[in-house]
Structure 1
C-alpha cells in the first residue's frame, strides 16, 4: 500500500534572495521533513489562486511578519494544524506590543522557539503549547590554526539587532599590533551601516568588512576562525552560533537569552550587551592563551563541544516530527 504524505506548507517571510537565518531555517526544515511530508516553501499563504487547497498543515515562521498568513489559514482551515515558529524579533520585541503577533500566538496550536530560554519570554498562558526545536547543521572537522595571531569572525547582516557598532567600537579599542584580526561578514541594510563599516576598516587595519557572502563561504570562514564574535542585542537562536559550535570554533557572545539558551547558562564566553571594552578584553585573553593547550580558547572549545549533540540534524528532525505528530 502506498503512503500518501500529508501536505505541509512552510511560510517564511524570507526566501533564498534574503540569505538570512529565516531562509536557512525554512530550507533546512523542508529538507528534514521531506521523507514524511510533501513540503513546499512560500512567502505567504495562500500561495495559489484559492485558499481552499489541499494543504494539510501550515508552519509559519515569525509571528508578526507571517501574521496575515496565520490569520488566513485559521479562518479558512480552523480544524487543520497550525504551527508558528518564533525566530527572533517577534519573540523578544513584537509579542510585547504588536497585536498581529499576539494574535498569531493565540491562533497557533503549537509554538516553536529555537533555544531553551525561549519559552520563558512567552505569556504564561501560551507556554504549554510551546516546544523547543534546536537548529542543526553538519559537523565540520576541527582545523589546525595559526598561533601567530587570533582570527575573530562576526557573521550577520549589518542591522541594529546584530549590534555591529559594538564590534566596530571593540576594533577601535584594539591596537593593530596586538595580533587580533577581525573579519566581518554581512550585507549592510542601510547606507549608514555601510559607511560605518567602511570607516572602521579605514581607521583599523586589523578589521575587514567582507560584505555579504554565500552561506557556504561564510561557513568555511567560521571553520577557519579561532573565535566567532556574536554581539547581538536580540536573537531568537542564531544560526551562526550553532554552526560555530559544530565547527569546533568557540564563541564570544553577548549575554542575551537568545545566546545563553544556545550555549548554556554556565558558558564562559559571554560579555555584557553593548560592552565593547569587555569584548576587546575577551579577545585579548584569547590571544594571550593561543599558545597553551589549556588556555581560555581551549576551555571555550570544550564547553561548545559539550553542547554539540543538541544541534545534530537527527535531533532537530525528531523534535519537528514529534511536534507535528501531536497535531495529527
Structure 2
C-alpha cells in the first residue's frame, strides 16, 4: 500500500513521535509498503493514512476524512491525547478518535482510559527497541557510584527531576548518583535543571544525547527511573527492558500498561519520599535489583521489532476491513 504517516515532529527532531514515525516507516517498508512521513497534510491521495496524535493532528485528520471518506484511517494515541487533551480539547481530540477506523494504543491500559464507545477500536502496539550491542558494562570496573539514569526531554509530563529530588534526601553514605539525559522543554526547565546542578551534588545533567550515548548510559547504570505523571507508552521503557536494565517507575497507567500489574518496581506517582525508600532498597538489596532485572528481561520479548511489525500489520489489516469502502 501507499501509506502516509503524519507526525507533528519535524525531520531531525529527537522527539519520541518522530522516532516512532521513522521506525514505523522502516518496519512497513520491510514488508513492501511505500511510506511517506509528513508534518503537514494537504489532501494528497494514499491507500491508508496514519496520524500520530489525535489532538495535534486533528486538522489533517478532518481534511483527510472529508476528501477521502472511504479510505482507511488510523490514529495513534499519545499520552497527552489520552490523559490531557481529550479532557482539555474534547471536540478536536474526540473527533479524531471517532472518525478513525482503528486507534493504536501504545500500552495495554489505553482502552480503559478513553470513552467506552471508542474502546472497541483500540489495538495495542508495544513500541520496539533494538537489543543493544555489547558495551563496556557496569560492573566491569569498580565504581564510586550507584548510578541511576533518567532519560527523556525535561518537561512537566515526565516529572523529570523527581529522582534528583529524592537523591537529595538519601543518607549521607549513599553512593547513588542521578544522571539525567534530555533536552529542556522550555526556559523554565532549563533553569530548573541548572539550579539542580548547582544545589545537588548527587545530580548530573548530560543534556540531549545521541542514540549510542544513551545506550552507554544505560549500560553504565544500575537502574532507570521512569517518573512520569502521564505516558502513552514510553519507548525508553522498551529500550530498558531490551537492555536488561531494571526500572523504578511511577504507578501510572502508561507504565503499568507496559510493565504489568505484578511488576515490583513501582512507587506512587509524584511521591518523593516513596521514591527515596525504593532507591534506598535498591542500593542496599541486590536481590531486589536482580528480581527487577529478571522481570524486565522476561518482558523484553514483547518489545522486539518483529512483534511491533506484526502489530502494525494487524492494525493496517483491521483498518482496511473497517474502512467505509469495505463496509458498503
The question of a shared fold, defined as TM-score above 0.5 by the shorter chain, is answered with yes
Q: Which moved more, 1:86-95 or 1:9-18?
A: 9-18
Which 5+ residue runs of structure 1 have no aligned equivalent?
1-5
Taking only aligned residues, the RMSD between alpha carbons, in angstroms, comes to 1.5
1:17 equivalent to 2:15? Answer no
State the 1:224 CA deviation. 2.4
* 1:234-245 paired onto structure 2 within 5 Å: 234-245=230-241
User: Of 24, 36, 45, which residue of structure 2 is paired with 1:29?
Assistant: 24
TM-score by length of 2: 0.92
In the TM superposition, 1:268-287 aligns within 5 A as 268-287=264-283
Question: Are residues 1:71 and 2:70 paired?
Answer: no
Give SS of 1:205's match. coil
Post-superposition shift, 1:80? 0.4
- 1:242-290 C-alpha deviation (Å, 9 max, x unpaired): 1001001010010000000010100000011111111122111111124
Counterpart position of 2:84: 93
| SS at 1:164 equivalent | coil
Contact 1:141 1:247 in 2 (8 A): no
Output aligned runs, 1:104-115, within 5 Å: 104-115=96-107
Shift of 1:141: 5.8
Name the counterpart of 2:128.
136
Check 1:15–1:176 CA distance in 2 against 1; reply closer, same or farther (3 A cut): farther
1:298 pairs with 281, 290, 293, which one?
Answer: 290
Structure 2 Cα separation of the partners of residues 327 and 92 of structure 1:
24
Aligned-pair CA distance for 1:176: 5.6
Q: Normalized against structure 1, the TM-score is what? A: 0.92
The counterpart of 2:208, out of the listed 212, 217, 222, is 212
Q: Which has the higher contact order (CA 8 A, sep 6+)?
A: 2
Specify every segment of 5 or more residues in structure 2 that has no aligned partner in the other structure, as ranges: 321-328
Q: How many residues align?
A: 314
- 8 A contact 1:63–1:86 mirrored in 2: yes
CA contact (8 A) 1:12 1:23 kept: yes
**Is the 1:67–1:104 contact (alpha carbons within 8 Å) kept by the matching residues of 2?**
yes
Corresponding residue for residue 3 of structure 1: none
TM-superposed CA distance for 1:223, in Å, is 2.7
